[in-house]
C-alpha cells in the first residue's frame, strides 16, 4: 500500500473550495485513496465531510494512502499530492463571458472577412411591460371549504373541576 507525505499549500488551508477540488480528483481515481494526519487512521478521500473534518491548515502535513494496483496507486498519489501542494485559493483563469466566435461570424459565405470583431452576446429583448407588474390591489378570494369558521353554538360543556392535590 503506497503512502506519501504532502504539505498543504493553500493559503487558507483545506477548506470548502480546495477540499471540494481534492475530493473530485480523488473520486476520478481508479484506486481507493485515503488521507489523514501522519500516525492516524486515514479517512476516505472521496468524502467531502471527512476531508473537511481533518481541519488541515496551510503548511500542515497530510499522509496520502492508496489501495490497489501499484502503478495506478502511485499515479493517483502523485496527482493528488500535486493538487494538495498547489495554492488552490489563487484566482482561477476565468473563461470569457461570451462564447461567440468572431472568426465564425466572419467566415459566413458572401461576406468579406474584414477586421476581426469582438464577440457579441445576444440578450433577449425586453418588452415594454417588463418586469410584469401586479395589479394595484388583489380581489378578495372566494370563501373556501377549508377556511376556519367558529363552531356553531350548542349546549355548553359542564365546567371542569379540579380535585384537590394528593398528599
List residues with catalytic annotation.
15
Cα angle 76, 82, 84 (rounded to 5 degrees) comes to: 100
> Helix, strand or coil for residue 65?
strand
Instruction: Show Cβ contacts of residue 5 under 8 Å, excluding neighbours closer than 6 positions.
Output: 38, 61, 62, 63, 64
Q: How far apart are CA 73 and CA 1, in angstroms?
A: 8
Cα angle 91, 95, 100 (rounded to 5 degrees) comes to: 165
Q: How far apart are CA 102 and CA 151, in angstroms?
A: 73
Residue 84 and residue 9 in contact, taking contact as beta carbons nearer than 8 Å:
yes
Amino acid at each position: 500500500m503506497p503512502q506519501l507525505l504532502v504539505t498543504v499549500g493553500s493559503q487558507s488551508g483545506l477548506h470548502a473550495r480546495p477540499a471540494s477540488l481534492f475530493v473530485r480528483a480523488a473520486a476520478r481515481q481508479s484506486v481507493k485513496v485515503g488521507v489523514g494526519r501522519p500516525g492516524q487512521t486515514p479517512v476516505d478521500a472521496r468524502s467531502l465531510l471527512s476531508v473537511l473534518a481533518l481541519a488541515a491548515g496551510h503548511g500542515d502535513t497530510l499522509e496520502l494512502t492508496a489501495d490497489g494496483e501499484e502503478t495506478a496507486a502511485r499515479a493517483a498519489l502523485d496527482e493528488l499530492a500535486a493538487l494538495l501542494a498547489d495554492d488552490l485559493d489563487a484566482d482561477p483563469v476565468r473563461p470569457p463571458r461570451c462564447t461567440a466566435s468572431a472568426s465564425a461570424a466572419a467566415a459566413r459565405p458572401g461576406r468579406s472577412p474584414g477586421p476581426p470583431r469582438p464577440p457579441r452576446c445576444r440578450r433577449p429583448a425586453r418588452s415594454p411591460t417588463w418586469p410584469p407588474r401586479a395589479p394595484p390591489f388583489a380581489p378578495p378570494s372566494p370563501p373556501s371549504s377549508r377556511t376556519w369558521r367558529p363552531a356553531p353554538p350548542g349546549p355548553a360543556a359542564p365546567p371542569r373541576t379540579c380535585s384537590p392535590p394528593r398528599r
